[in-house]
């Protein structure tokens, strides 16, 4: 693309990598189209969906507040005992 500024080039590279990783992960998601006894796994999203400009992946549910919000942080382990 010919980006001259190193910082801008790095940020562009990071953005492209993030989009690529997100699309790759979404393309690997499966859903069970069969029964519990006879599962039939199908892709959750088609490539046409993923590459459509208007398509948005659903946001994961966010906890409301309090301790549930803290437990939802990445890397936080909840020990029961």
User: What pLDDT sits at residue 27?
Assistant: 95
Question: For residue 68, what pLDDT is reported?
Answer: 74
DSSP string, 49-62: HHH-TT--PPPPP-
Give the model's pLDDT for residue 53.
Answer: 92
How is residue 45 written in tokens? 């999203």
Predicted structure pTM score: 0.64
Question: Which residues have C-beta within 8 Å of that of residue 81, sequence separation ≥ 6?
Answer: none
Give the Cα separation of 57 and 30 in Å (integer).
14
pLDDT in tens, 10-58: 999 999 999 999 999 999 999 999 999 999 999 999 999 999 999 998 8
CB 26 within 8 A of CB 45: yes
By the 8 A CB rule, do 29 and 57 touch? no
């Amino acid at each position: 693309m010919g980006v001259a500024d190193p910082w801008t080039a790095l940020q562009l590279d990071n953005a492209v990598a993030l989009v690529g990783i997100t699309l790759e992960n979404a393309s690997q998601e499966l859903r069970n189209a069969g029964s519990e006894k006879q599962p039939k796994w199908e892709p959750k999203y088609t490539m046409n969906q993923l590459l459509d400009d208007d398509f948005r992946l659903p946001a994961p549910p966010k906890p409301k507040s309090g301790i549930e919000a803290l437990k939802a942080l990445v890397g936080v382990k909840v020990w029961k005992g």
